[in-house]
Structure 1
Amino acid sequence: MKNFKQQLDREMGPVEKRFTPAMQERIMQKINEPTPKKMAWPYVMTMVATTIMMLLLSVLIMFPATQPASTATSPLAAPIKSFHINSEPEEDFFVSTSLFSLGTPIVLNKEKIAMMQMLLSHAQKTDDKIDEETLYADITVAYDTGKERSLRLYSEDDAHYLLYDVHTHETFAGVSPKSLDEFIDTHMPFEYIFILLGLFFLLLFVANRIVSKRFGIVKRNQKAVSKKQSWILVALCLFTSFYTAFSAEKNIFVYLIAYSTFVAIDFYFEYRYAREDRRYILSVNLSIMLCLFFIAIYIIPLFL
């Protein structure tokens, strides 16, 4: 330690030269200056958050949330937000509540929802048996409360109708001021289908002309590259037709898979065996147009 002090004195000079009176005075001033206290922000923010939480809890306690009182006299008369309808019912009750089902679509049309609400409100419980009444539709009603009710709609004549609950086996009778024929018709009108098909083929024709000109695609008399491709595509079309004719639940995914397979097979054969014609680009164009067509087919019936 002594050797270190002697070495320090040799290099920096003795202590009396290193610390002049002026420097010593400045050091003492710094020592005597009061150190500023820093704000303890974590504690401050914790106190603020606690105060806000206490105020919110006080407001919730003072003003509790109240549910609006329901004026419905029966479960049937409760407000509904939508319903699924199968306008071609068979012996067994069938309604698919899937968002992707085209067989029993969800009804969002405000007029039809109001009509369904009216049928539910006017129906009163009855002990009448259902004998020779005409089965009009299978319906699953979605209430605002989140509950659902599965009903079968029967018609005695042009005005009188019956609603049969398939789970509780209760029967409700009512009188409708409007015809039920238009209400249960959930099929897309022919004019909509005609317009959509016309737009689809027109847009597909225009898009093919633009793409063919842009990429220099060769025009060919034969649409298919080989007979194997033609047979596969014909078989796929027949399968889709049989599914449409005999399936109660027409799921949009089945159609998407079928037509995606159709486009994929066409793309494969064109790219594998006739790549120089560059017609595989038209398959990509067809897939885009089919997606737009399916979107229109799926969305439009929701509001009809």
Structure 2
Amino acid sequence: MLTNSGNTEQLAELASLIALRTPSDGVFPSGVPSLCFRRVSRPIKPEPSFAHASLYLIVQGSKTITLKGEQVRFGPLHYLINPIHLPVTAEIDEASAERPYLSLQLEFSVEEIREALGESPPISDADPLSAMFANPTTPEILDAALRLVRLSQRPEDVRFLAPLATREILYHALRSEQGAWIARFALPSSLPHRIARIADRIKREYDRSLPVSELAEEAHLSPASLHKHFKALTGMSPIQYQKTIRLQTARQLMFFSGLAAAEAAFRVGYESPSQFSREYARMFGLPPKKETERRLAEKSR
């Protein structure tokens, strides 16, 4: 556990390095592939978000994630790992201008999990009850994370050393209390792996029609079984999952690319602007036009 001075020093150095790469609030590239940093200088109320297949390590502040109605609050004492993309509700609990929320996100693939397993992986015989796992931040995880983050200062070493540090981080995560469940996502014959493959396809092809019967056939499941097991891991059905991706992508297109609501709706696969507006309001609390007006008003203050 993080109780000795060495671990405190590691967290302090991580915070210092991430602060250097995050000059303002937002998400910033690190210079290391698959690794990004985030800074937030004020608490953020719960809002729909999307947790990518990643390991999340907070070095300062705290965050609450809600998945399937269950809350997970974590800070520097725990890291979060989810092997598949998950729609969640996220809230930044502790953050201020003097002491901002600082975190790193390391994206990985199922193939990288498989490589990190080694020859004698600890794999559970039972399927996990969720696709998100919170584990204590060990000195080993911190040490490997610190070496990876230091590479943001040494671009000439990234190509050779970053894959080694990433593999080491995943290696230690797989040997955590919940690592045997995480490992099941890397087994091609396992149910979690098949569900992860379907989730990945929906994420890639969210803007087109994806019949549940077609997805079920790809997963070697009946439509009813796919619905049951997909919802058990992600908290929603495949159709709801696709809808969530569409709405969140449309929101990003409106706020960060300046698209009008109707154009954003069309881009993500909606044929009816009115249906898009209704479903958008149901998820985010306001129709797209009113939320855009609210955001513009907030920026002008």
Query: Do these two structures clear the TM 0.5 threshold for a shared fold by scoring above it?
Result: no
TM (normalized to structure 2)?
A: 0.27
* Larger strand proportion of the pair: 2
TM-score w.r.t. structure 1 length?
0.26
Q: Compare CA radii of gyration and give the structure with the larger one.
A: 1
Point out the structure with the larger helix share: 1
